[in-house]
Amino acid sequence: MNCRPTSRRSAFTLVEIMVAMMVFSMVIAAIYSTWALVMRASQVGQDAAAQAQRQRVVLRAIGDALMGVESFQASQKYYWFRLENGGAPFLSFVARLPDSYARNGKFVGAAGGRDASSRRVTFALAAGENGEKNLILRQSPILMDMDQDEEKFPLVLARNVKEFTVEWWGTNNLNHAEWSKDWDDSQTNSIPQMLRVHLVLGANVAGGSSAPEFAATRIYTVPSQMMPATVQRGGLGGPGGIRPPVIPPGGAQPGGGPPGANPRQNNPRNFPGRGTLR
């Protein structure tokens, strides 16, 4: 009897298929976890960079305003300088702002004129949409009330501000120089010599970011001083004080000398010991 060899076909068993699917699932899960970790780290890095950039914007806005601060002793009604800390901190003063300052085109131009370069700026904390505190900036020209648009829609400099404090350098009641948070007009000259601003920004609440809090402290040396009332009124010694000499038309000096000459130098009596009459 002739027997033919039978052909056997090999196939995967059910156990092998289940093991292969399990290994494949583990590889896919590892790839997804790595991708999710990379995306999360990238998002945290972007939020941290945005926070750092926002801090620089805020501190630059405060610094640019402080570099042009103005104060006149005879017009303290309009040029007052105030800072407050605590539950509702704010910093308010008048400054001549540069052309690159925020919202400058709203105040300087055909409507406002060049005089609107001097404006009152107020940095304060206000409630945000998600329950956090936002640092806002309001501006108003001198001798003019703040318009409704600026009052209702101020410029938001930073969101989710955890801390905003302003300290000034000066002497206390014991005549010791130190940083102080309590502003007292009787102990200052209306413009402090130095200011220290401490700012802490939290993560973006709306985006659910897990970026860490960013803290920054900046010290500003204020270059301006308050203009005394006597100088503002045009006299060096106030009413009845010494005033600068009036030069006649043509530049001639008092005493009949030529332009640019000093009458004291032309009088020989002012130089004894040189053969002149006494």
pLDDT tens column, 91-133: 999 999 998 999 988 888 755 555 688 999 999 999 888 788 9
- Is residue 127 in a domain? yes
* 13 pLDDT above the threshold of 80: yes
- Is residue 173 in a domain? yes
- Write down the pLDDT at residue 28: 93
Which amino acid, 3?
C
> What mean pLDDT comes out for the span 56-76?
91
- Is residue 26 in a domain? no
- Percent of the chain at pLDDT > 90 equals 32
- Is residue 87 in a domain? yes
- Percent of the chain at pLDDT > 70 equals 73
Domain residues for 148?
60-231
What is the tens place of the pLDDT at every residue in 147-173?
A: 889 999 999 999 889 999 999 988 766
- Is residue 259 in a domain? no
- Write down the pLDDT at residue 276: 35
Backbone angles phi, psi at 270, to 5 degrees: -85, 0
- Is residue 266 in a domain? no
Give the span between the Cα atoms of 192 and 188, in whole angstroms: 7
- Is residue 187 in a domain? yes
- Is residue 240 in a domain? no
Number of domains in the chain: 1
Q: Is the dihedral of CA 54, 55, 60, 63 positive or negative?
A: positive
pLDDT band at residue 232 under the 50/70/90 scheme: confident
